[in-house]
Amino acid sequence: MTTEILSQTLTNGMVLVGEPNASVESVAFTFLLPCGCSYDPVGRAGLASLTSEMMLRGAGPRDSRTWISDLENLGVERGESVGVAQASYHGATLKDNLYAALGLFADLLRRPLLPADQLEAGRNTCLQELRSLDDDPSHKLMIELRRRQYPDPWGRSSLGAEPDLRATTADDVRTFHERHYRPERTILSVAGNFDWRRLCNTIQELFGDWQPGNVAEPATGNGRPTGNYIPFTSSQSHVGIAYPTIPYNHPDYFQAWAAVGVLSSGSSSRLFTEVRERRGLCYTVYASLHTQRDRAAVLCYAGTTAERAQETLDVTVAELQRLGKGIEQSELDRLKARIKSSLIMQQESTSARSGSLARDWYHLGRVRSLDEVGRLVDALSAETINAFLRENPPRDLLVVTLGPDPLTMPPGTG
Amino acid sequence: MQFRHHRLENGLDIIAETNDDAHSMSVAFLVRTGSRDETDDVAGVSHFLEHMCFKGTPRRSADDVNREFDEIGAHYNAFTSEETTAYYASVLPEYQEAGIDILADILRPSLRPDDFEMEKKVILEEIQMYLDQPPFGMDDRLKLLHLGHHPLARSVLGTSESVGGLTPEQMRAYFDSRYAADNVFVAAAGRVDFDALVEQVAKRCGTWQPRSAHRDVPRAAPTPKFEVVHRPSATQQYVLQLADAPASEDPARYAAKLLATIVGDDSGSRMYWELVDPGHAETASLGHYEYLGAGMFYTWLACEPHLVEDNLKRLRGILLGIEQQGVTAEELHQAKNKVKARVVLGSERPQNRLFNLGGNWLQRHEYRTVADDLQALDHVSPDQIQSILKTYPLSATSTITVGPREDVRKPK
């Protein structure tokens, strides 16, 4: 499972990181750019998303139809997403088409046409995505949970706000692109079948003369909404619980991550067993460690019929509190087996690998090889995790519910 | 890659596509049963039974099943469709036998009444969960509207009433008739030790009895209809459409896939350019779904409620336009490049190959390589697309629209 991880920083600050693997036919790439919704200006919530949406409407010498046709003729499977800190553009294709595909993405990122006459179309797309949230209550709840857990702008949703989207102009979009789509904190990762030398030369040609912009990272504010209950007409009640933990770049991260794994990784994990299997309270229940670069939280969700929501909340909170008392060796053994097979299976997907490479670089300024991750996992023991949990038991539990009726907050939550 | 096949004396087939370069292996027990094989009094039993298989056997409690899967680091799950119930696991090669041992065991579940009542609650929660997502459940209603009493119109999930009324005895009888040796097969892909696989399966399943399970495959006789479902609590308006399409045994299915890509792929299709790109709809897509004896072109659109009439008109325009003028050579070329790349990219994961392998065996008792699929796609001509459009006119569609609007007019 040994592979070579290579990296190069261009003089303008853009980082290229690669993991070649000659045993596959595909190659996948991920661009991470510092263009997330945390940069949305006051009164323009949703601008980062609208800008990303407008960038797909033609770039360089190609109008939108030609850009998409050329990409599809190269067999590129693509996707974009706008998060809090970053925007991500990723693609996967057959090995011979990588360099042509990267050329199309260089146009997209550096020379989008941002056609003013298509602003209404782009705006409508964003408004419809925002509206559709009201038909997806669990998603809506988790957005509200994050908004209350993190200080602004780190709890924002990239979907934005309707009045702000309506007020956004073509100039706003152009300015956002010019200011934020810059090389200095941009990461490009490539995994799969490619030649590193040729890739470096191609990236130098495509991105070497991109000028840095020197935009500061957003400042952390204090504001966040309050209120634990969101009234909603639905047949289920949706329960969200959050508590702070440590981020990916913290030396103890794997202790925290494994503790959450005991809670919610696999069908023998505690939440699945206690909430779903033993009591039949719900179909979906989970907890996951959500990490940003400088802060992190464990986010839990359970969806259940309204009359069983109180019991679901009480049982879930009790499980979180019990976690603070420690885990057992057998729970860790199962978790390690799952992690080991996940690491090995990750090698079978160039898309998964390229995403990991880029995220590692963002969080750590370097990439952990799968070997290194394997060693960190091997080093975990019930003692180390329990020592971590003694110092850092789940506490300051924030509960937010969405549904027809409010619930009673269990002791120790807010 | 190598294809291997062995049949046990009781009729249970074992197939594999072995790949020594893979890092992992995926294996599935596939049962030829699903909602199409149910009757009214047991509607939803296939899916409920799938859940019950994880609730314990004479050798294992439900906790044992979950724990042992986790102990070998398996990525495992199960699903039920109209015509298949599948139980699958991806594991590292050294856990092949351990994985087979659990899967083979859970296909002979205890079906204990206490577990039955507990799991019924989980299924009823699952049904409630979908009720909160306005368009869900509408695909069932659309199949019923379009196909009438055809078996494929049966709901996989069932209803709160039908699932609520099920008894353990009914489930036991259904299990006995459907989970027989000759109605189940084992498929595996990736780094598989096939000789060992045959031995491992024979040891555990060799005593299972054959039963010659029957399945009705009547032709569908659909009639296009239009229905408005009023959901005042919904925010967006949804449109679902069904039209006839080539079935899984029809070689025209490759042309049908390419046609669906041209008309309604997520990106770069006619629906994309005429509905999504201009901002008229949040999403609009058309896919091709194949079953034994029937295929379906399935359209899905979500938009703001006041735009629904205009979008219905645009949809109809797109479908009639394709029927009258066919597709262009450039469109077909682009669709082939897209679909072929997807086939190759998807083939790198053993689990994806497993479902391709299993699907081909289930529906046609055949093995097809990645190269076979690429070649079949390459051979599709504009004439073949034209001939599909003649046999299966896209505009002969049934429509349901669901959302806050109760007064949606049918387009002329």
Q: Where are the domains of chain A?
A: 6-207, 229-403
User: Closest by alpha carbon to A121, among B312, B280, B306, B307?
Assistant: B280
CATH classification code of A6-207: 3.30.830.10
Distance separating alpha carbons of residues A308 and A314, to the nearest angstrom: 10
Ramachandran sector of residue A391 (left: φ over 0; alpha: ψ -120 to 50; beta: rest): alpha
Q: Do A268 and B303 touch (CB under 8 A)?
A: no
Active-site residue among B50, B82, B274, B331? Answer: B50
Pull the structure tokens for residue A73.
Answer: 């003729």
Identical fold between A6-207 and A229-403: yes
Query: Residues A177, A112: contact at Cβ < 8 Å?
Result: yes
Q: How does DSSP classify residue B273?
A: I
pLDDT at B233: 87
**Amino acid, res. B208:** W
Residues B350-391 have pLDDT tens digits of: 999 999 999 999 999 999 999 999 999 999 999 999 999 999
Distance separating alpha carbons of residues B213 and B235, to the nearest angstrom: 45
Tell whether A125 lies on the interface with B, counting CB pairs under 8 A. yes
Q: Which of A69, A73, A378 to mutate to test the interface with B (most CBs of B within 10 A)?
A: A73
Closest Cα of chain A to B132: distance in Å? 6
Distance separating alpha carbons of residues B365 and B3, to the nearest angstrom: 13
Q: Which of A95, A98, A166, A334 to mutate to test the interface with B (most CBs of B within 10 A)?
A: A334
Distance separating alpha carbons of residues A227 and A363, to the nearest angstrom: 32
Chain A hits for B338, CB-CB cut-off 8 Å, are 72-73, 75
CB interface of B with A, residues 99-118, below 8 Å = 118
Residues A354-392 have pLDDT tens digits of: 999 999 999 999 999 988 999 999 999 999 999 999 999
- Mean pLDDT value across residues A241-263: 97
Q: Do B235 and A122 touch (CB under 8 A)?
A: no
- Mean pLDDT value across residues B232-241: 94
Distance separating alpha carbons of residues B407 and B95, to the nearest angstrom: 58
Distance, first Cα to last Cα, chain A: 46
pLDDT at A235: 82
Q: How far is CA B50 from CA A357, B53, B347, in A?
A: 38, 5, 27
- Active-site residue, B50 included: yes
- Locate tokens 């399943």: which residue? B205
Confidence tier at A85 by pLDDT (50, 70, 90):
very high
Confidence tier at B227 by pLDDT (50, 70, 90):
very high
Q: Do A277 and B63 touch (CB under 8 A)?
A: yes
Distance separating alpha carbons of residues A235 and A304, to the nearest angstrom: 9
pLDDT at A2: 60
Q: Where are the alpha helices (DSSP H) in A38-94?
A: 47-55, 64-73
Q: Which of A72, A136, A285, A342 to mutate to test the interface with B (most CBs of B within 10 A)?
A: A72
With a pLDDT cut of 90, the percent of chain B lying above it is: 89
Residues B87-126 have pLDDT tens digits of: 999 999 999 999 999 999 999 999 999 999 989 988 988 8
Query: Residues B57, B112: contact at Cβ < 8 Å?
Result: no
With a pLDDT cut of 70, the percent of chain B lying above it is: 100
Distance separating alpha carbons of residues B257 and A99, to the nearest angstrom: 28
- Please report the sign of the dihedral spanned by the C-alpha atoms of residue B177, residue B180, residue B182, residue B185: positive
Per-residue pLDDT at A1 exceeds 80? no
> What 3-state DSSP class applies to A19?
strand
Mean pLDDT over the full length of chain B = 95
Query: Residues A161, A322: contact at Cβ < 8 Å?
Result: no
Question: What is the reported pTM?
Answer: 0.94
Query: Residues A148, A224: contact at Cβ < 8 Å?
Result: yes
- CA–centroid distance for A315 within its chain: 28
User: Closest by alpha carbon to A172, among A104, A130, A124, A123?
Assistant: A123
∠A74-A77-A78 over CA atoms, to 5°?
Answer: 110
Residues B139-180 have pLDDT tens digits of: 899 999 999 989 999 999 998 899 999 999 999 999 999 999
Of A73, A135, A334, the CB nearest to B134: A135
Tell whether B69 lies on the interface with A, counting CB pairs under 8 A. yes
pLDDT at B410: 87
Of B67, B90, B233, the CB nearest to A233: B233
pLDDT at A88: 98
Radius of gyration from C-alpha coordinates of chain B: 22
Residue A267: φ, ψ to 5°: -75, -15
- Mean pLDDT value across residues A188-197: 97
CB interface of A with B, residues 249-288, below 8 Å = 266-269, 272-273, 276-277, 279-284
- Mean pLDDT value across residues B29-57: 96
Non-local CB neighbours of B42 within 8 Å, separated by 6+ positions: B162, B166, B170, B171, B174
Q: Which CATH number fits domain A229-403: 2.40.110.10, 3.90.1150.10, 3.30.830.10, 3.40.50.300?
A: 3.30.830.10
Element (H, E) at B129: helix B113-131
Q: Do B279 and A74 touch (CB under 8 A)?
A: no
Confidence tier at B196 by pLDDT (50, 70, 90):
very high
Tell whether B266 lies on the interface with A, counting CB pairs under 8 A. no
Q: For the ranges A84-93, A396-405, B185-194, B215-224, which has the lowest average pLDDT?
A: B215-224
Non-local CB neighbours of B293 within 8 Å, separated by 6+ positions: B152, B217, B218, B219, B220, B247, B249
pLDDT at B122: 87
Dihedral angle at the C-alpha atoms of B43, B47, B48, B52, nearest 10 degrees? 150
pLDDT at A93: 96
Q: For the ranges B19-23, B262-266, B321-325, which has the lowest average pLDDT?
A: B19-23
Mean pLDDT over the full length of chain A = 95
Query: Residues A287, A240: contact at Cβ < 8 Å?
Result: no
Q: Do B337 and A68 touch (CB under 8 A)?
A: no
Per-residue pLDDT at B243 exceeds 50? yes
Q: Given the DSSP bridges, would you call strands A284-291 and A87-94 parallel, antiparallel or unpaired?
A: unpaired
